[in-house]
Chain A
């Protein structure tokens, strides 16, 4: 596999932020009571992640190893604050809906994690691609969780999409079944339940794919590989 394809597959699925790396679980649990919000938070995070990855990669020659963490935090916080101000000024309607989530992006460990483990070692182009892939994976995870919780809890899907993403996206809004669903799905407990199920499903799929290799590896290694995957 070519390196760029590898980065894409890694970010979107194989090493998915939420389902595999288990990072950024706080926003994943907090904003996914509806699919639209998961989508909005995912896209805002992706934009910041691409920009911060590129910036960190660009400045990686300047940043010394010892102070890299505070320097990254500074870069990310500055970036998010500027995005917040700019959106409030020029994309006011979108900011009213997403405004609550934007400051949360600063403390999203996904951003710092990618700066530390990828962007500070790779070229600007690859870092941008990594940001795109990881961001897309995050968006995918949040939208999927939001969709499952919304269908289970409210009986709708993508409700409010037209206010968040413009009238054109109103076509996405639908009612899956009449009446309200199981309330627990929208409440925080529903977030944990859906997240747990999703992680279990991802691991089952990974294990199924890896099973021939695991047996082979376990002949040589003292510890079974499956436990570490």
Chain B
């Protein structure tokens, strides 16, 4: 806007002019260069974020759907568990539960549980049927040693699939452990902490389900 448009403009203009002069005195050219770069970088990042937000969310949803498919067999439900969720409050901790239903009746649930591994959190997705039997377990995220602890991923080893069909009584509660600790589950050569954490995490998840079975299976009209 030119100075003639508004009566107060000249005062503002001279103020900003003085400011620029002050900046120039204090080596302002560099400040302007850096400021310009920051501005351009911010603009670019905003554009990139805007362009990628939708595809990223979509792939995250796709990932979740695919993981759920692996822990809840398609034969036991006719709904979309990824969209059929209930937010539970169990002993004060919130838990998001994906419910699988057959003709409205809840036939199984899936939920996340996490356990500290060798280097950071291991996030597991558990699928449990209405009788408390494991339908499947998958690792969603972990930061275990590549080449050593990452055999818990289904793409690297079938180890994680051996949980399918197990429940709290099978093996008996005291034997929910890796072989080194007297249980039936294999550890990996050179890595005991990671499989132990997964076994314990799965057991904790089963215990949680057993303690709140009614709440988990409650039929909430969608």
Contact = CB atoms under 8 A, between A and B. Distances in A.
Interface of A: 31, 33-34, 37, 62-64, 66-67, 70-71, 74-75, 77-78, 81-82, 85-86, 88-90, 92, 96, 100, 150, 153-154, 159-160, 163, 180, 183, 186-187
Contacts of B155: 160, 163
B156 interface: yes
A37 B146 contact: yes
Contact of B41 (A37, A64, A74, A90): A74
Contact of B143 (A37, A78, A100, A186): A100
Given A71-B37, A81-B45, A186-B148, A89 B30 contact: no
Interface of B: 27, 29-30, 33-34, 37-38, 41, 44-45, 48-49, 51-52, 55-56, 59, 62-63, 143, 145-148, 155-156, 189-190
B48 A85 contact: yes
B141 to A, nearest CB: 10
B37 A74 contact: yes
Contacts, number: 76
Interface of B: prevailing SS: helix
A161 to B, nearest CB: 12
Nearest to B41: A78
A75 B48 contact: no
Contact of B48 (A62, A74, A82, A160): A82
Contact of B59 (A37, A89, A154): A89
A71 B39 CA distance: 12
User: 9 smallest A-B Cβ distances: which pairs?
Assistant: A89-B55, A89-B52, A92-B59, A78-B41, A85-B52, A183-B190, A67-B30, A180-B189, A82-B48
Contacts of B52: 85-86, 88-90
Contact of B147 (A81, A85, A100, A153): A153
Given A81-B45, A85-B56, A89-B55, A180 B29 contact: no
A81 B62 CA distance: 23
13 contacts: A33-B145, A63-B33, A63-B37, A64-B30, A64-B33, A71-B33, A75-B37, A77-B41, A82-B44, A86-B52, A89-B59, A100-B143, A153-B147
B162 to A, nearest CB: 20
Contacts of B38: 74
A227 to B, nearest CB: 38
B34 A71 contact: yes
Given A64-B33, A67-B33, A34 B56 contact: no
Contacts of A85: 48-49, 52, 56
Contacts of B48: 81-82, 85-86
Contact of B45 (A78, A89, A96, A183): A78
A78 B44 contact: yes
A169 to B, nearest CB: 15
A89 B48 CA distance: 10
